[in-house]
Every structure is written in structure tokens, then in C-alpha cells.
A and B are shown apart, each in its own frame.
Chain A
Amino acid sequence: MNVVFYMSSFVAVIATIMVITRANAVHALLYFIVSLLSVALIFFVLGAPFIAALEVIIYAGAIMVLFVFVIMLLNIGSEAAEEEKRLMSPQAWTGPVILVAVLLGELIYVLASGDIPGAGTVVVGPKQVGITLLGQYVIGIELASMLLLSGLVGAYHLGRRRRSGERRKGVS
């Protein structure tokens, strides 16, 4: 499992360097999704399969979609078409595709090797996480629900267009 860990770490660091150096926001998003996927693989080999699934579903799935929506809202007029042309060019997607191919190779290797996630790793599964979350940390869930509610209200209030008669562009 060590080789899987170090290769995903390598992919994560390379992808994150690409995120903070890209000029185009959509390219940076592609690289950031690759970085999140590799971190999910690291969670898996560290013995946290539940967190690995949450990383893919919520971070790479939901939060990144918010970013994509906002970038789409900001792309206006003819710039959007040129953007689309540049996005389809090979140099835009070869980098992420190579990095994802490395991750896919690791995944096939993990599945083929049989012992998941490696001998000696203590796997803390969803059951233990759920017992701890809803037992010891139940006050944290209440606080998180209040945080999410305030985030919802705040995003609705801030995303509202001030002038009346115009189309409302909310993020939530």
C-alpha cells in the first residue's frame, strides 16, 4: 500500500501546484478535482473508507459543482464561446487525464492485489464513525446544523439582486 500512498501524494501535490498556477479558472477546477480524488485514495489507504466516499461525493461532487455554476454565471457573451473552444483543446485536458490515469492504475492495482487496504492498517469504518458522531459529538451536529442554516440564509441574502425587476441570481 505504500506505493499507492506515495503515488497518490505525488499526484495530489502536482495537481495542487497546477491549481494555484493556472490562468483559466475552469482548468484550475479540473486539476482541483483530480487533487480531491487523489486525496480520497489517500484516505482509503489510511483506513478511512467512509471519509474517502464523502470526499468524492460532497467535495468533488457538490462543492465543485457550485464553483462550476458560478464560473458559468460569470462567463458572459462571446467570451463564453471562445472559452468553450479553448476548453476543448488538447492541452486543456491532457494534464488532468494523465493524472487521473495514474489514479486509475492505482485503483486497479488496489482492487487486483486483494488485501484492502493493506495488512496492519486499522480500518475505522462507517459504523464506528457514526457511533462516535452521534454519541460523543452530538452537540457538534447541532452546531453544524445551525452553521448550515446561517450559510443558507446568508447565501440567499447575498445572492439576491438588489435592484427590483431583474432576474435573481442566487447561488443556493
Chain B
Amino acid sequence: MTAVNPDHGLILAAVLFALGLIGVMARRNIIFILLSIEVMLNAAGLAFVAAGAKWGRADGQVMFIFILTMAAAEVSVGLALLLQMYHKLKTLDADAASSMRG
């Protein structure tokens, strides 16, 4: 059995990132937008790990740990915002919150 070519990991990361981007742009439900953002972050982490595996260095994995930290912080704040929006507007449609008060 031969080793995996890390370039193919980069291609997979690009495909997953594109799918996440399609999800962010196409869906209007805020839960799905947050999920698609998670898909994109995960794809970015996959790209880092694949690039790190190409040179056999640990830096890519360290960057993945930072991305993981950022994703955890982002999702907690994002879900809190989602709850607040649902309590105020009684809907999860992102277009319902399109106007500012000022």
C-alpha cells in the first residue's frame, strides 16, 4: 500500500469549501448558514493538515487546533445570536433581519 498523495487532500478541501460556500449563499435558514460555515471551517482545517502532511511538519496540525478553537468560539456566539433572533422575530429566516433600526 502506498502513501496518500496530500495534493488530493487539498482538492477534497477545495470541494468541501465550495459546497459550504454554496450552502451559505443558497440557504436562508440561519441554522443551515451556521452549519455551512462549519463545513467551510472544517475544509480550511483539512487544507492545513494536508499541506502539513505534504512536508511532514506539525505546523499544519497546530493551525488546525487554532481553527478548532475559533470554530468553537464562533459557533457559541452564533447560536446565541440565533436564539435572540428567534425570540425577537419568531422566525429563522435570515432575510427577516435585513433591516437596521437606525
Given A122-B56, A171-B76: A158 touches B15 (CB 8 Å cut-off): no
In B36-94, which residues have CB < 8 Å from any A CB? 36, 38-39, 42, 46, 49-50, 52-53, 56-62, 64-66, 68-77, 79-84, 86-87, 92
Contact B77 A140 (CB under 8 A): no
Contact A124 B87 (CB under 8 A): no
| Bound complex: CA A33 to CA B64 (Å) | 18
State the Cβ distance, A28 to closest chain B Cβ, in Å: 6
In the complex, whether A80 has a CB less than 8 A from a CB of chain B is no
State the Cβ distance, B68 to closest chain A Cβ, in Å: 6
Given A1-B4, A73-B83, A159-B84: A9 touches B73 (CB 8 Å cut-off): no
Contact A151 B74 (CB under 8 A): yes
Residue tally, chain B, CB below 8 Å to A? 59
How many chain A residues sit at the interface, stated as a range, is 35 or more
Of the candidates B42, B52, B62, the one whose C-beta lies within 8 Å of that of A59 is: B42
Could you say which residues of chain A place their CB within 8 Å of the CB of B87? 161, 169
Which stretch from A82-90, A91-99, A100-108, A126-134 is at the chain B interface? A126-134
In the complex, whether B97 has a CB less than 8 A from a CB of chain A is no
| Bound complex: CA A151 to CA B91 (Å) | 24
Contact B4 A118 (CB under 8 A): yes
Q: Please report B residues at the A interface, Cβ cutoff 8 Å.
A: 1-4, 6, 8-9, 12, 15-16, 19-20, 22-23, 26-27, 29, 31-32, 34-36, 38-39, 42, 46, 49-50, 52-53, 56-62, 64-66, 68-77, 79-84, 86-87, 92
